[in-house]
Structure 1
């Protein structure tokens, strides 16, 4: 994920958003400084007791009312997403409904995953009851991105709320209006609940810094690896837990037994959808040589007619972050200068704020187009001799967010060898739409998980409780009153249970 920008129209006191395709203003909001952020965190802390004490059932009802409000008003919401982010109306709709799927899953499954659980105390402590209770951290600070301004932060917010936390959310300064609409929808759906369960603070990077340093009990961040590391370092001062979803340079592998037409269709969508501004979008593709020509023909057929734009017929929208156009230009020019070949498009495809689809063949592995996150509608394709070579190249990255595999017979086998947090077999990014699957990366792609049971558990801390139910005469092990006879009995039992290898 590219770094949240500081180039939005910001003054000392106001932040404004604009349509990235047309420059037309969308809205403006006050910049929240450290004092305002601290006040929001304090309101969240006050509201936390009420929200926690509602319990799983009432929290589920509140979250499902929120989901219903999002669905009933989806057209209005999608129009705002399209205006601030630039993505097509269809893409905005798919983002919202996928977020709603996650929201509902977290609400429905929170009790099952986070409810108190009794565990066997062991023979030595058999007179005790042992219980694990998952306690919410308290106030969670969420810093969201601009490329998926609803779906991505929702993966932290929905799960944090379902777990009993309150949330202070700082959206990207490029999609501030989306962040406010999303949070306001919760309040509108739940007018009887107190202020502060979900609130928004607005502003540039300094507002995010203030949130990190405000004393929140956990931080969930989506953005660049560099910024994620700075947040983690700042959080270390108070040992504040963090979950970081950072950059990716995701690879696809096309095996010799793949359905080539289906693989090309999936890779084309994964690489080009949302103008390539997708942290789990395919940026590298490794294709076994025996099917390379067929794959390139199918891919070219699907990609050539894609058109960026702002109208209803556009395949995808503009680059949301203007400076990303410079990154794309640098990567494409470097790839061609170092021996890569443009199969589709090239430097002439870049006409800010739009970038047409670009497919580059056999770009050197040490080039920036292969090593660094491009975050645009570009794709590098490389011929490999075997699937094993493809796995080695796919894993030779500092990043490890997601990946995809196309093979009729070996899909699961290949997937299990990839160094990534998630893999989709014979489809693009399916894991992102399945709420039960945890999501997150390894290496430079981040730490921790959102979504699924792991996501719910990550927004809580376990509290272990051991309750003595009755005394066992002569067996007071945790006491200065224990006797040698007691220890002799323990020694004999231990020898019987563990002293012989089976």
Structure 2
């Protein structure tokens, strides 16, 4: 890679102290990385399923042996508590393990029944690697979130060029070092560091076969525009404005505990975090008292006793403060905290009630430790209000009725829903992860995540010739009569209810 003349520091957002210095990779450096990835792609794909599985399981082992080192680096670059960083690494390990162990089963060649019209053919469906995948990662979960693309792309037989966030470059660099230690022959995972132009160079590179992006909807549109130059396909996860719905027969203590964790953990900087809570009126007062009593005890900081850390991206503090002030100006009540809770670089817990539906605190992604709590008459109204917002990533439902909860989960417009727990789907490697609407498109994780980084290929092989050949200029009227007779026999019958 060409030597970068410009560098930038990654900073600890809690202290402002530099963590490390990293190069700003320009368009030429990105092109060189993509070129090396292209050269490595044929070798990596040719290794075959079993050898790639072995290599990736050893990468998993290397990451597991370095949990504490990786977690401390995450803590330094994001400010989150060490235990939360350790949990993040554990979740990343489980995704890497699932992708490695299941790639062949999901993507390996399979025989498909051809149907009577092609009975003389053997039909095979294969999923072929794309080649080079570019991954543009976020800063809020700098190892777990991109692992959903990196691990699955590698397991599918692709090589990867990873552009981590400029706020957490060291996490990406360290993981690439672990991969190189296990796969020394070729650079199957490379990291390019820098700011927006570095990501744009990766997205617009003609040598990249697919981009996996995580970030804001606004940035996703710019990435899509860059991808459009070469018709490069894109999988995008663009955040959310997720709700937690609390039914009248829910376990209120469990619901309050889960909703508060979903809203406040990682300082609310979670794409699938809880930002809105809709509570059926029969239990609204009890639930509100329960969650506010819990919220008042939470304290941000960088010490061991703090339950969450600072806002990692300084510019987000203005967004959070703006949403709180907008809600209060429109008649909302702050039952915990308020505008004064923004104490840079921290935001203390904020719980708002009576928030109008048109306020930014309800309609736009806040990405901070704030929640709005709303009273609704029933589960159906909660679902309707949930679906009014354009973001449709995930959600949570607490109910004592399995059937009502399942019905509501199916009605909520989202890619994922967890019942009587927060975000359980994110811990299950077999389940796809992704949203709809302004929350993006495509899927990572699970079988769908593996297929996301492949191209399906259909192959037919004629085993014997049929008595009639319809794909020939020698076709006769008798052949056509036989065909139409067969179609009538198989498909022309009437079906009754």
Normalising by the smaller structure, the TM-score range is over 0.9
Query: Partner residue of 2:236?
Result: 244
Query: Partner residue of 1:422?
Result: 416
Match of 1:326 among 300, 318, 323: 318
Task: Confirm whether residue 167 of structure 1 aligns to residue 183 of structure 2.
Answer: no
**DSSP-derived class of the 1:253 partner:** strand
Match of 2:285 among 285, 293, 299: 293
Describe the superposition over 1:44-74 as per-residue Cα deviations: whole angstroms up to 9, x where unpaired: 0000011001111111111110110011111
Q: Give the whole-Å Cα distance in 1 for the aligned partners of 2:229 and 2:477.
A: 47
Query: Compared with structure 1, are the counterparts of its residues 361 and 12 closer, same or farther at alpha carbon in structure 2 (3 Å cutoff)?
Result: farther
Is the contact between residue 5 and residue 23 of structure 2 (CA under 8 Å) also seen in structure 1? no
**DSSP-derived class of the 2:28 partner:** helix
Is the contact between residue 274 and residue 316 of structure 1 (CA under 8 Å) also seen in structure 2? yes
Task: Confirm whether residue 123 of structure 1 aligns to residue 119 of structure 2.
Answer: no
Task: Confirm whether residue 380 of structure 1 aligns to residue 372 of structure 2.
Answer: yes
Query: Taking structure 2 as the reference length, what is the TM-score of the superposition?
Result: 0.97
Q: CA offset at residue 234 of structure 1? A: 2.4
Q: CA offset at residue 12 of structure 1? A: 7.2
Q: CA offset at residue 238 of structure 1? A: 2.0
Runs of 4+ in 1 over 4 A off after TM superposition: none
Q: Give the whole-Å Cα distance in 1 for the aligned partners of 2:15 and 2:231.
A: 44
Match of 2:400 among 408, 415, 434: 408
How many corresponding residue pairs? 489
Q: CA offset at residue 236 of structure 1? A: 2.2
Is the contact between residue 171 and residue 200 of structure 1 (CA under 8 Å) also seen in structure 2? yes
Query: Partner residue of 1:443?
Result: 437
**DSSP-derived class of the 1:422 partner:** coil
Match of 1:208 among 193, 199, 209: 199
Query: Partner residue of 2:479?
Result: 486
Describe the superposition over 1:78-110 as per-residue Cα deviations: whole angstroms up to 9, x where unpaired: 111100111110000000000110100001010
Is the contact between residue 276 and residue 375 of structure 1 (CA under 8 Å) also seen in structure 2? yes
Query: Partner residue of 1:3?
Result: none
Unpaired runs of 5+ residues, structure 2, are none
Query: Partner residue of 2:428?
Result: 434
Pairing of 1:168-183 with structure 2 (within 5 A): 168-183=161-176
Q: Give the whole-Å Cα distance in 1 for the aligned partners of 2:290 and 2:23.
A: 49
Query: Partner residue of 1:338?
Result: 330
Q: CA offset at residue 247 of structure 1? A: 2.2
Query: Partner residue of 2:299?
Result: 307
Match of 2:253 among 247, 261, 281: 261
Q: Give the whole-Å Cα distance in 2 for the aligned partners of 1:270 and 1:124.
A: 54
RMSD of aligned Cα (Å): 1.0
Task: Confirm whether residue 361 of structure 1 aligns to residue 337 of structure 2.
Answer: no
**DSSP-derived class of the 1:258 partner:** coil
Is the contact between residue 65 and residue 190 of structure 1 (CA under 8 Å) also seen in structure 2? no
Is the contact between residue 120 and residue 465 of structure 2 (CA under 8 Å) also seen in structure 1? yes
**DSSP-derived class of the 2:414 partner:** coil
Query: Partner residue of 2:223?
Result: 231
Q: CA offset at residue 475 of structure 1? A: 1.3
Task: Confirm whether residue 16 of structure 1 aligns to residue 9 of structure 2.
Answer: yes
Q: CA offset at residue 122 of structure 1? A: 1.3
Task: Confirm whether residue 469 of structure 1 aligns to residue 469 of structure 2.
Answer: no
Describe the superposition over 1:154-186 as per-residue Cα deviations: whole angstroms up to 9, x where unpaired: 101000000001000000000011110011111
**DSSP-derived class of the 2:172 partner:** helix
Query: Partner residue of 1:42?
Result: 35
Is the contact between residue 71 and residue 85 of structure 2 (CA under 8 Å) also seen in structure 1? yes
Q: Give the whole-Å Cα distance in 2 for the aligned partners of 1:189 and 1:372.
A: 43
**DSSP-derived class of the 2:473 partner:** coil
Q: Give the whole-Å Cα distance in 2 for the aligned partners of 1:396 and 1:262.
A: 26
Task: Confirm whether residue 460 of structure 1 aligns to residue 451 of structure 2.
Answer: no
Match of 2:189 among 183, 189, 198: 198
Unpaired runs of 5+ residues, structure 1, are 1-10
Q: Give the whole-Å Cα distance in 2 for the aligned partners of 1:334 and 1:236.
A: 37
Task: Confirm whether residue 56 of structure 1 aligns to residue 49 of structure 2.
Answer: yes
Query: Partner residue of 2:276?
Result: 284
Q: Give the whole-Å Cα distance in 2 for the aligned partners of 1:230 and 1:351.
A: 32
Q: CA offset at residue 387 of structure 1? A: 1.2
Is the contact between residue 135 and residue 460 of structure 1 (CA under 8 Å) also seen in structure 2? yes
Describe the superposition over 1:189-218 as per-residue Cα deviations: whole angstroms up to 9, x where unpaired: 233x312x1000010000000001112000
Task: Confirm whether residue 66 of structure 1 aligns to residue 66 of structure 2.
Answer: no
